[in-house]
């Protein structure tokens, strides 16, 4: 994409990284249809929501980017930001070899795309793909075999994006957010990219 430059940044840039909004309008969801208690398979069907609403992943203050270094040892993570001239257009964070990150499943050959975000006016212009590819390239350089990413059934745009980037849906967890009141009705979807 013309004019966009992706750079690796450090943990000291996470406050600026966090200024890139994650909010989006939920207009549809991927409804999970389980046939015969799972023996008949699982089908995802896109359905419009009765009343569209705003979802903001940064609404929970203790999980925002400027908090990650306090929550985890980010010394083996990578952070990337996309710039349109000097303006931050997007960002991606990759978690690697961090025992306290359960999503890594204790594997040394797996990375987790911990976060990816694009400023609204830069969405659907290739910025997300540039960041995703940079994260995947970084993982390959580390000798990783897979990239894993979590999203929810309410984020249909992200699901389409990961599929377009070559990911395969590897797990559907109907109860992944059961203990989290603000997300209890959402379904966890885990996507994988073989590197």
Full-model pTM: 0.94
pLDDT band at 95 (very low <50, low <70, confident <90, very high): very high
Please give the share of the chain, as a percent, with pLDDT higher than 70.
99
Q: How far apart are CA 103 and CA 114, in angstroms?
A: 9
pLDDT for position 68 = 95
Sequence-distant (6+) residues with CB within 8 A of 105 are none
Q: Taking 80 as the threshold, does the pLDDT of residue 168 lie above it?
A: yes
Q: Taking 60 as the threshold, does the pLDDT of residue 1 lie above it?
A: no
User: How long is the chain?
Assistant: 195
pLDDT (tens digit, 9 = 90+) per residue, 61-90? 778 999 999 999 999 999 999 999 989 999
Q: What is the mean pLDDT of residues 175-194?
A: 92
Backbone angles phi, psi at 118, to 5 degrees: -135, 135
Please give the share of the chain, as a percent, with pLDDT higher than 90.
86
- For the ranges 92-101, 116-125, 140-149, 176-185, the lowest mean pLDDT is seen at 176-185
pLDDT (tens digit, 9 = 90+) per residue, 142-157? 999 999 999 999 999 9
| 3-state SS assignment for residue 84 | strand
Average pLDDT value over all residues in the chain: 94
pLDDT (tens digit, 9 = 90+) per residue, 31-53? 999 889 889 989 999 999 999 99
| 3-state SS assignment for residue 179 | coil
pLDDT for position 2 = 62
The alpha carbon of 34 is separated from its chain's Cα centroid by a whole number of angstroms, namely 25
Q: How far apart are CA 16 and CA 172, in angstroms?
A: 33
Please, are residues 57 and 85 in contact by the beta-carbon 8 Å criterion?
A: no
Question: What domains, with CATH codes, occur in the chain?
Answer: 4-194 (3.40.630.30)
pLDDT for position 35 = 87
């Amino acid at each position: 994409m013309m004019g966009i430059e992706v750079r690796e940044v450090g943990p000291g840039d996470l406050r600026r990284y966090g200024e890139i909004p994650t909010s989006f309008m939920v207009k549809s969801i991927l409804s999970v249809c389980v046939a015969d208690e799972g023996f008949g398979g699982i089908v995802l069907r896109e359905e419009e929501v009765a009343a569209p609403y705003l979802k903001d992943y940064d609404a929970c203050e203790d999980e925002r980017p400027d908090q990650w270094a306090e929550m985890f040892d980010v010394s083996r993570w990578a952070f990337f930001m996309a710039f349109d001239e000097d303006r931050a257009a997007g960002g991606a964070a990759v978690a690697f070899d961090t025992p306290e990150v359960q999503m890594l499943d204790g594997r040394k050959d797996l990375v987790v795309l911990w976060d990816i975000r694009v400023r609204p006016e830069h969405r659907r212009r290739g910025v997300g793909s540039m960041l995703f590819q940079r994260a995947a390239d970084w993982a390959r350089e580390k000798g990783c075999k897979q990239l894993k990413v979590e999203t929810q059934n309410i984020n249909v745009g992200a699901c389409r994006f990961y599929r377009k980037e070559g990911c395969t849906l590897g797990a559907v967890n109907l109860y992944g957010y059961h203990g989290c009141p603000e997300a209890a009705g959402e379904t966890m979807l885990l996507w994988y990219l073989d590197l």
